[in-house]
Amino acid sequence: MKIEFKDNEGQVTLALNGKLDTATAMKATTDINSALAKVAIVKSLTIDANRLDYISSSGLRILLTLVKKYPNLRLTNVQKEVYEVLDMTGFNRIIKTEKILRHISVEGCEVIGRGGVGTVYRLDDDTIIKVFRQGTTMDEVKQEIGMAKEAFVLGMPTAISFDVVMVPSPTGQGDEAYGLVYELLRADTLSAVVKRDPERLDYYARKYADLLRSLHSIDVPQDGIIPNAIEHERQSVMSLTRYFTQDEVDVMLQIIDAIPPANRLLHLDLQTKNAMMQGDELMLIDMGEVGYGHPLLDLGHAYSAMVKLVGNYEQIIGMPRELGTEMWNRAINYYFKGLSDEETAHRKKQIETVSCVRNFSWLSLSDSFPQEVIDQCKALMAERITNRKEELLAISRTFCDWTL
């Protein structure tokens, strides 16, 4: 048994190489204790089990001793055989354990979606993969999986990932990133089918509207893992002081704070490239922003993407802006079917007001947006928020009349 030790300011990693059994346990214990004694304060302890081939009861006792002393102990890159032992003995319930992940290359794969937290590629006719931006943690990946499952149980037509993988950088530069693989048989993005068959735009707009209405009819239990969308939006806006003045941020906060409380299911990034057509059914992907709240927030986010997007529209949405805008206009009319023309026009103004916040709050999704995009957002602040302050705040004061 060989043990490699790394210390990064108290973030300690022990890489185990070989077999951890009765014959090696005593020396392994001595080596581990000796390594940890060199660290003044162990803030976290990770055991990299990538090259751990076997573990016996003697090795399990070493892990038990360590987790009692370091409750935040993590086992990563655990091989299948070792994981089965940990699972069978119940150790994976007392120690945070991550199986080793298979590697998948996306080199040469078609990009079908690109957002603030990752990029979606088509692997083959049956599967797609969402590759998270570098720096995303396994905990964040698991959180998205958990929210997707919770939303699916509640009734959101969600594509559930069946595998977490590691993806080398497509450029060959930089570190690996986590990926989620989805099985979507013969599915294509809603954007792609609209672009390919614009004569059926009205049909797709109805499907899109039905999807939105279906989501917004679902009540989210308050004891689940799906978060409060308004609280998250507030935190996102508050983080924008690195780009905008406090006065500009305060205006956006006033708009968000005017949205009535509610507990409806919200996707919060439901633009047409995040909806996959599988046969005659729409399935949702990219569940990283799912929350509960008032549909006004979800519709404001969608309008921001489909009509007022900042950036390369065709690359991000997947169709020309003119076609995407027409798609939205028809869909929102179907969404409000049954309301008077006057009330529909009023709701559209409310949605547009919320979209003005989303035009900028999405910058909080990543620290690695190109400076060109950040500068473009800064240049639009006066046009979309500052010069319209009184108008936007007046409209926001009417949000309370949108009852569910």
pLDDT band for 160, please (50, 70, 90 cuts): confident
Q: So what's the pLDDT on residue 317?
A: 92
The 10 Å Cβ neighbour count of residue 394 is 11
pLDDT of residue 86: 92
Q: What CATH number does residue 121 fall under? A: 3.30.200.20
Q: What's residue 340's pLDDT?
A: 97
Q: Is residue 105 part of a domain?
A: no
At residue 116, the pLDDT reads 66
User: Do 367 and 265 lie in a common domain?
Assistant: yes
Range from 126-135, 261-270, 313-322, 343-352 carrying the lowest mean pLDDT: 126-135
Average the pLDDT over 179-198 and give the result.
90
pLDDT higher than threshold 70 for residue 105: yes
> How large a percentage of the chain has pLDDT more than 70?
98
Please determine, for residue 186, whether its predicted confidence score (pLDDT) is greater than 80.
no
How far apart are the C-alpha atoms of 165 and 369, rounded to whole Å?
A: 24
Statement to judge: residues 80 and 128 lie in one domain: no
User: Does residue 341 belong to any structural domain of this protein?
Assistant: yes
DSSP, collapsed to helix, strand or coil, labels residue 284 as strand
Provide mean pLDDT across the span 115-132: 85
DSSP string computed for 218-280: PBPPTTSSPPBHHHHHHHHHHGGGGTS-HHHHHHHHHHHHTSPP--EEE-S---GGGEEEETT
For residues 298 and 385, membership in a common domain is answered with yes
| pLDDT at residue 92 tops 90 | no
Number of domains comprising the chain: 3
Predicted local distance difference test score (pLDDT) of residue 339: 96
Would you state the pLDDT for residue 208?
97
Burial of 171 (C-beta count, 10 Å sphere; 0-12/13-18/19+): exposed
**H/E stretch holding 63:** helix 57-69
Res 201: pLDDT: 97
In terms of domains, do 235 and 167 share one? no
What is the rounded CA–CA span in Å between residue 112 and residue 133? 15
Indicate if the pLDDT at residue 231 is higher than 90: yes
Segments in 79-122 forming alpha helices (H): 80-89
Of the candidates 353, 349, 361, the residue with the CA atom closest to the CA atom of residue 230 = 361
Domain-terminating residue out of 125, 156, 183: 183
Q: Are 130 and 182 in contact (CB under 8 A)?
A: yes
Q: Is the model more confident about 170 or about 289?
A: 289
Residues 152 and 70 in one domain: no
272 within a domain of the structure (yes/no): yes
Asked whether residue 249 falls in the same domain as residue 314, the answer is: yes
Do 229 and 116 belong together in one domain? no
Q: Are 208 and 235 found together in one domain?
A: yes
Going across the sheet that includes 177-183, the strands are 110-114, 118-122, 127-132, 177-183, 161-167
198 & 78 share domain: no
In this predicted structure, which of 49-63, 90-104, 115-129, 376-390 has the lowest mean pLDDT?
115-129
Indicate which CATH number applies to the domain containing 384: 3.90.1200.10
pLDDT at 378: 92
Helix count and strand count (H, E) for the chain: 14, 15
Residue 260 counted as domain residue: yes
Alpha-carbon distance of 272 to 205, in angstroms, equals 10
pLDDT of amino acid 248? 96
Cα 306 from Cα 303, distance rounded (Å)? 5
The CATH number that applies at residue 9 is: 3.30.750.24
Helices 246-257 and 229-238, axial angle in degrees (round to 10): 170
Average pLDDT over residues 380-389: 95
Predicted confidence band of residue 180 (pLDDT cuts 50, 70, 90)? very high
Looking at 99, 121, 154, the residue that finishes a domain is 99
> Is the domain of 232 the same as that of 344?
yes
Q: What is the pLDDT of residue 172?
A: 58
Q: Give me the phi and psi of 131, to 5 degrees please.
A: -100, 120
Place of tokens 């037509």: 157
Question: Where is the domain boundary, 134, 168, 183?
Answer: 183
Task: Examine residue 252 and state whether it is found in any structural domain, yes or no.
Answer: yes
The chain-wide mean pLDDT, for the chain, equals 91
For residue 173, pLDDT over 70 is answered with no
Query: What's this model's pTM, rounded to 2 decimal places?
Result: 0.80
**Residue 104 domain flag:** no
Mark whether 40 and 27 lie in a shared domain.
Answer: yes
For 66, other C-beta atoms within 10 Å of its C-beta total 20
State pLDDT tens for residues 316-342. 899 999 999 999 999 999 999 999 999
In this prediction, residue 133 carries a pLDDT of 83
182 pLDDT higher than 80:
yes
What was the pLDDT predicted at 4? 93
Question: From CA 268, how far away is CA 7, in angstroms rounded?
Answer: 40
Q: Based on the domain organization, do 315 and 208 belong to the same domain?
A: yes
Query: What's the average model confidence in pLDDT over 88-117?
Result: 86
Higher pLDDT, 177 or 299: 299
Tell me the residue range of the domain where 120 lies: 110-183
Give residue 135's pLDDT: 77
Q: How much is the pLDDT for 25?
A: 92
217 versus 80: the higher-pLDDT residue is 217
In a domain, 328, yes or no: yes
What pairs with residue 12 in β-bridges? 7, 45
Please give the pLDDT value at position 326. Answer: 98
Within a domain: residue 337? yes
pLDDT in tens, 299-320: 999 999 999 998 889 988 999 9
